[in-house]
Amino acid sequence: MKQFYFFIGVIILSFVFPFFGYGQDHLLLQEFCVAPTDFEYIAIYNPFSYSVDLSNYYISDNNAYYGVTTGTQVIPSSDFLLRFPSNAVIASGSTQYISLGAKTFSASFGLYPDYEFGTSSSDTSFLVPDMRMPAPSNASSISGLTNTSEMIILFYWDGVSNLVQDVDYVAYGTTISNFVDKSGISVNGSSYSNDTPINSQSPIAAPASGYIAQRSLSMNEGSETLLSGNGLTGHDETSEAFSITFTITNKANLPVELVSFAAQRIQDGIKLQWMTATEINSYGFDVERRTIGQSDWSKICFIPGHGTTNIQHTYSSFDTTVSTEKYAYRLKQMDNDGSFTYSKCTEVDNILLPKACSLAQNFPNPFNPSTRISFDLPFQSFVSLKVFDVTGREVAAIVSEEMSAGRYTKQWNAAYLPSGVYFYRLQAGSFRETKKLILLK
């Protein structure tokens, strides 16, 4: 009887909380540059305290992106539908950039993007992973993000379901026919919930040539409608007031070409060091810090810039106000006229190394279809983390590699397995521990 009540409770939770059981995470579109073509890009941000596997995440500017589940969708040459590379991961508090071409992006911003989807061999780089193209398209003539009115959608598809899950969405410009409203659309008998009607959406103005649209500093989602629509956590992604959430900055006025930015734990705190190749009217840098797992940034110090110079300069700063936490740092690069931009984040772990091996209980548990498994490793070792069914048959090898001492969290997606009880086992040196987990679909 207790078991019966348990399943009834799960069914009730599934109706009350439509996000219950999803294994994917609500990443954010952080910023984008739509023109000119030579440095177009899209940036995504991970606001969580753990890394996220991007293998089943997609990004598109086509308002019929959800057709990817049918396997018959063809993308016009003026649009794109892209899937992140297999095993791609975005770390906690990190920003990743997807550019049209790696070389021109690097020339414009002083660093390589994380992924590229350009088709010009002269602009691509073997150093940068390519985004995957899951649908047929005229790849030789992809024109990027240069449409004057557009939508950009970050979404998740497990590869099996009839419907996709919207992760984040932004619309810009005035041509509403380019925006999306999936309300009531049916795919193989499964129907989408209500989006905000296109006429009621609040797009931002189309960024002009050389301008960047950036999410507000807090990285909050904005005022989305709750418990409706097609978002990962029950949010209606199309209801966000983008004109408030995003601001537009002129790329041409950005003061610094940043070559590198790194953080290192030292005896008395954290050492930050960065290098610029050129500076134009550079006022200086605010060094900002955020504790991983929290959303608010705080200013640590200000370091003056070098005005206008084409000589390489190296800067450093020391943060001695830290505690035993994991932190993300960024630079607010400011020009003399008040314009500014933010660097990519760099992370540093100020947590002491674990003193003993340990294996934590997976979370969530029960789960469907993904769960996270954490473990401590006090020494460098070859590590094996495997999952077995009740018969002892191995069903997954989550980790099988040499690893340094530290604290780790791995995400496992069991979408291909039936419901049931499974066991996961960690082996590192002479250490061995096994725990039980429950997959409930």
What is the pLDDT at residue 291?
Answer: 86
38: alpha, beta or left? (left if phi > 0; alpha if psi -120 to 50): alpha
- Mean pLDDT of all residues belonging to the chain: 82
C-alpha pair distances (Å), 113 with each of 62, 107, 375: 22, 11, 31
CA distance 331 to 271: 14
Q: State residue 113 phi and psi, 5-degree precision.
A: -75, 170
Task: Catalogue all structural domains in the chain, each as residue range(s) with its CATH number.
Answer: 23-251 (2.60.40.1260), 254-349 (2.60.40.10), 358-439 (2.60.40.1930)
Instruction: Specify the amino acid at residue 144.
Output: G
Which one has a higher pLDDT value, 282 or 105? Answer: 282
Q: How many beta carbons lie within 10 A of that of residue 264, not counting itself?
A: 10
pLDDT surpassing 70 at residue 441: yes
CA pseudo-torsion sign 100, 102, 105, 111: positive
Q: For 372-416, write each residue's pLDDT tens digit.
A: 999 988 888 899 999 999 999 999 999 999 987 777 889 999 999
Q: What count of other Cβ atoms lies within 10 Å of the Cβ of residue 208?
A: 11
- Give the model's pLDDT for residue 11: 38
State residue 256's pLDDT score.
67
Find residue 178's DSSP bridge partners. none
175-184, 225-234, 379-388: lowest mean pLDDT where?
225-234
Peptide bond into 255 cis (omega under 30): no
pLDDT at 388: 96
pLDDT band at 13 (very low <50, low <70, confident <90, very high): very low
pLDDT given for residue 324 in this prediction: 65
pTM of structure: 0.58
Position 171 confidence tier, pLDDT thresholds 50, 70, 90: very high
Residue 439: CB partners within 8 Å, gap ≥ 6?
A: 366, 367, 368, 369, 414, 417, 418, 419, 420, 422
CA 238 to chain centre: 19
Model confidence at 351, in pLDDT bands (50, 70, 90)?
low
DSSP 159: S
**DSSP string covering 316-382, please?**
EEEE----SSEEEEEEEEEETTS-EEEPPPEEEE-SPPPSS-EEPPPBSSSBSSEEEEEEEESS-EE
Q: Is the pLDDT of residue 284 over 60?
A: yes
Asked whether residue 141 carries a pLDDT value surpassing 60, the answer given is: no
Percentage of the chain exceeding pLDDT 90? 38
Average pLDDT on 21-50 reads 75
